[in-house]
Structure 1
């Protein structure tokens, strides 16, 4: 695809000159790698270049893997999406909710309905991330300060003790739902979350560099994380790396994995090809379709109002393109994927047999600027 190289390469080089210290991008069409390039540095001080085997913190791109892993158990009849979560994680029985009256006064009362398993997939559970806007967020922030020392069952039980931000199923809010989904996988499978991922996804797909921990023999391949100031100055940031060290118990289904462009591209290719790659079936075609269907109602779509997601709905752990005109998008109706905190991004399009994996390590990531432009250029180069 000559046009893809002519358009994408200059844009990525410009981003490295003006933004991230390095980046990489892999595009696969009809099972063939049509673009695979990397630019800039993994370590600015030592001038270590980004290579094909550079390892990245993929943060929330972990969510797609977690949801696929859980859907494997769904396909085995181990749970149904409308099941109450308390049937598997009893700590979530009788959830409480923070409510506010017209004067802003807060009280706690019983939730109007239980959390369903699908509320974890859909981010409609009432669980949140850390923050200071809501009491649920504040208490979650206190808890997450110690989370790296706890396993995910302990985290799930601690989260269940915090009143929810809203009645389950009534709103959409980004949060720790997929971390709890990891705990659900542990309980149902009888394995640790990491063991289940390794056995059911990583080993079958040959994802040899995807894990929750960085081993000593791979440490030199881990890309540096950089903070970018308003004037473009880049500063190495190692404050977030404790969770990747050997001995850490926490396996975050929402943000904990490390991976490479090659590994994640194999995972994305499998989903683009109906759940199968090289004879390995990780999900059925129909379950991939269910995952990539918008599951949000009108109120939840109003909550899901990130600027870079305009025109998208939300499926089972993924954005789903539902209105290309509203989003100003040249993509295919139903294409799906997600992104990570430091700028990683994946796009999966079964209709076009297309998958894209982009990696970088920078905070803030400039996601609203970068990802829509990647999308426009890649679709604009399709023949």
Structure 2
């Protein structure tokens, strides 16, 4: 069996290479069993990564959104077979593009409406294009999305989540709902449905349903000055391997009083806090005596929802770090240890984010693993799978 010294050494090897700083927290049975911190939160200032460092979560925020959606499901607020237009009437008359030989793409009505299940499983046919483009692409759906959201982005305005989702209701989608997997607007649709059902923003739902009950003191969607002071600097890695800090103005949307209705309820948190959230999922929805989500509901969440053709899409899009995994209700879920060359447990599930975060919950082991670093686009999968493999090697 490996030891956690191997994990410490692994993180140190990352920060001796392209990664400025990183952190990893491992919990089992709702207790921290190991923490590793290595490298710099800010190279120029010489500040080190530690247990209070705040990391941008980007797409790992989706795990919070989907968990809240699963809470509403077990409260009876919807069924996954419900069409999204029951909650978002703008989507009543959805259309799709079809390729007609000799004529290019034509718009026709969908055969079946987009369901809530399609939104949770990224099978609704809409990629990401949340701001107007200054050029035409070769994807007619992306071009239509660009024009649909343009009226909401004039004079420097930023659309709300409901504005974005409402605008996209008129866009012809890329394929018949439920027939392919495509990373895109699904989580935003789920978020909009959460807002309609609860009458509260996704941010407020995160605070009331997860952040406060779990006691996550170092987690927020907007940051006050004290938390901004602990926010790690994010670096872009240039082609010649230099580390360039992200422009400071890119963090304006994170500041209290900046853009309160900004559609993305992007989380910012410590590695410890996110590990607590994942530990709750790994332990049947319970943390420190508090039950937030049912064990059977979590089992549904981590059950693969994709058919053979959708799985091909999923593997093709995500690359080597997703081999062996399927996709459940908003999460990757391990189906096959052999094809993924993984020493983890079947049914372990989670997601990752564009700034380097990676999270996994293993109900079989009552284990959560959360890793974070502070770069964007530096072949994250090469680091994530190594962390996964080393941690599982340490578990009895």
After TM superposition, the structure 1 = structure 2 runs for residues 91-170 of structure 1, keeping only pairs within 5 Å, are: 91-103=90-102, 105-130=104-129, 132-141=137-146, 143=149, 146=153, 149-170=158-179
Cα shift at 1:161: 2.1
8 A Cα contact 1:194 1:251, kept in partner: no
Q: Give ranges in structure 2 of 5+ residues lacking alignment.
A: none
Matched, 1:284 2:297: no
Match of 1:231 among 235, 240, 246: 240
Cα shift at 1:317: 0.6
8 A Cα contact 2:332 2:351, kept in partner: yes
Distance in structure 2 (CA, Å) of the matches to 1:90 and 1:128: 20
Distance in structure 2 (CA, Å) of the matches to 1:240 and 1:148: 15
SS in 2 for 1:352: coil
Other-structure match for 2:264: 252
Cα shift at 1:148: 7.1
Counterparts in 2 of 1:331 and 1:148: CA distance versus 1, 3 Å: farther
Match of 1:186 among 186, 195, 216: 195
Identify the range of structure 1 (289-298 vs 205-214) with the bigger mean alpha-carbon deviation: 205-214
Counterparts in 2 of 1:129 and 1:320: CA distance versus 1, 3 Å: same
8 A Cα contact 1:341 1:365, kept in partner: no
Other-structure match for 1:54: 53
Distance in structure 1 (CA, Å) of the matches to 2:330 and 2:25: 22
Match of 1:343 among 347, 356, 368: 356
Cα shift at 1:4: 3.1
8 A Cα contact 2:223 2:254, kept in partner: yes
SS in 1 for 2:106: strand
Cα shift at 1:370: 0.8
Cα shift at 1:200: 1.0
Q: Give ranges in structure 1 of 5+ residues lacking alignment.
A: none
8 A Cα contact 1:29 1:353, kept in partner: yes
Counterparts in 2 of 1:93 and 1:32: CA distance versus 1, 3 Å: same
Match of 2:332 among 306, 315, 319: 319
Cα shift at 1:30: 2.5
8 A Cα contact 1:28 1:355, kept in partner: yes
8 A Cα contact 1:23 1:39, kept in partner: yes
8 A Cα contact 1:148 1:243, kept in partner: no
How big is each residue's C-alpha offset from its partner over 1:297-322, in whole Å with a ceiling of 9 and x where there is no partner? Answer: 11111111122111110000100001
Distance in structure 1 (CA, Å) of the matches to 2:263 and 2:67: 16
Other-structure match for 1:240: 250
Other-structure match for 2:385: 372
Cα shift at 1:35: 1.2
How big is each residue's C-alpha offset from its partner over 1:207-234, in whole Å with a ceiling of 9 and x where there is no partner? Answer: 1232221222321111111000233210
Identify the range of structure 1 (341-350 vs 362-371) with the bigger mean alpha-carbon deviation: 362-371
What is the number of equivalent residue pairs in this alignment?
A: 380
Other-structure match for 1:71: 70
Distance in structure 1 (CA, Å) of the matches to 2:354 and 2:15: 18
Distance in structure 1 (CA, Å) of the matches to 2:269 and 2:170: 33
SS in 1 for 2:96: strand
Other-structure match for 2:281: 271
SS in 2 for 1:188: helix
Cα shift at 1:354: 0.7
How big is each residue's C-alpha offset from its partner over 1:307-343, in whole Å with a ceiling of 9 and x where there is no partner? Answer: 2111110000100001111111111111111000011
| RMSD, matched Cα | 1.8
Distance in structure 1 (CA, Å) of the matches to 2:216 and 2:103: 50
Counterparts in 2 of 1:370 and 1:133: CA distance versus 1, 3 Å: farther
8 A Cα contact 2:324 2:336, kept in partner: yes
Distance in structure 2 (CA, Å) of the matches to 1:133 and 1:218: 42
